[in-house]
Amino acid sequence: MINIKSVVLSLIILLFPISVCSDSWKERLKDNLYKEQLLEQTDDIIIESPYRAIDGGNVPIVITTKSKDLIKFTLIIDENPTPCCATFEFVGLLPYIETNIRVNAYTHLTVVAEDMEGNLYVNRKYIKAAGGCSATPLVDNNVPKDKIDIIDDKLHFDKKKIQFNHPNYSGLQFNQLTRTEIPADYIDSVVIETSKGIFSYEGTIGISQNHYFTLYSGDIKKIIYTDNLGNNYEETYE
């Protein structure tokens, strides 16, 4: 007698091998990125995200830590086309970041943290989402591409949300009218100078359209960012 459940499971594994079977961190990413460096597993790195995201193109996450000695987070979205999504570095700031990312398939979010002595730590969280890197972009052409909004948190005076208006085209998306490929156009570096310290970001297509960074930063003094096309932007705040 045929076991229907076994047949269905086998079909799922055959049709969706990445979603079910792959763990690219263990298979290749860890060795390719960190060679023989020691990475200590720790729950002191806290990753907050939905277990099942509604929109793979706009997944909210929080990365923070119980340790004030950590100064840098590297976010790796294991099964994305460009897994090495972003680095977030904190100088004089609480190591805390809220942002929104693209998730292309069921995957682990792997965060490698670095402390002041150069020691490396790692933690991971599994998330279910798909199609984020090729999702149809929704662009408001009436809003300037270089517009940045700074939003105060009503409960925490030092907490600021820095909201970018930028399509962050991944290069994997298509114009729904012409069916032509949209060239990659994304912010690849950001430096935010604040009254408390400096925040730095470097990243690729894994960060969402109209992304944001929420920090415990105090007042924002200056924002400098570049894109993959070689453009530079700078905004100073009094």
- d(Cα 205, Cα 183) in Å, to the nearest integer? 12
| CB-neighbour burial class of residue 97 (10 A; exposed 0-12, middle 13-18, buried 19+) | buried
Predicted confidence (pLDDT) at residue 7 exceeds the cutoff of 70:
no
Q: 122, 40 in Cβ contact below 8 A? A: yes
CA distances from 168 to 64, 136, 192, 202 (A): 24, 12, 19, 13
Predicted confidence (pLDDT) at residue 9 exceeds the cutoff of 90:
no
Q: Half-sphere exposure of 67 toward its Cβ, with a 13 Å CA cutoff?
A: 17
Task: Report domain extents, the chain.
Answer: 23-236
| Helix (H), strand (E), coil (C) string for 170-195 | CCCCECCCCCCECCCECEEEEEEEEC
Q: What is the pLDDT of residue 158?
A: 93
- Map tokens 């119980």 to a residue: 66
* pLDDT: which is higher, 34 or 17: 34
Q: pLDDT tens, 54-99?
A: 999 999 999 999 888 999 999 999 999 999 999 999 999 999 999 9
Q: What is the pLDDT of residue 16?
A: 44
CATH for 23-236 is: 2.60.40.2470
If pLDDT is split at 50, 70 and 90, which confidence band does 178 have? Answer: confident
Predicted confidence (pLDDT) at residue 49 exceeds the cutoff of 80:
yes
Q: What is the pLDDT of residue 238?
A: 73
Q: What is the pLDDT of residue 21?
A: 54
- The pTM assigned to this predicted structure is 0.88
Q: pLDDT tens, 211-237?
A: 999 999 999 999 999 999 999 999 999
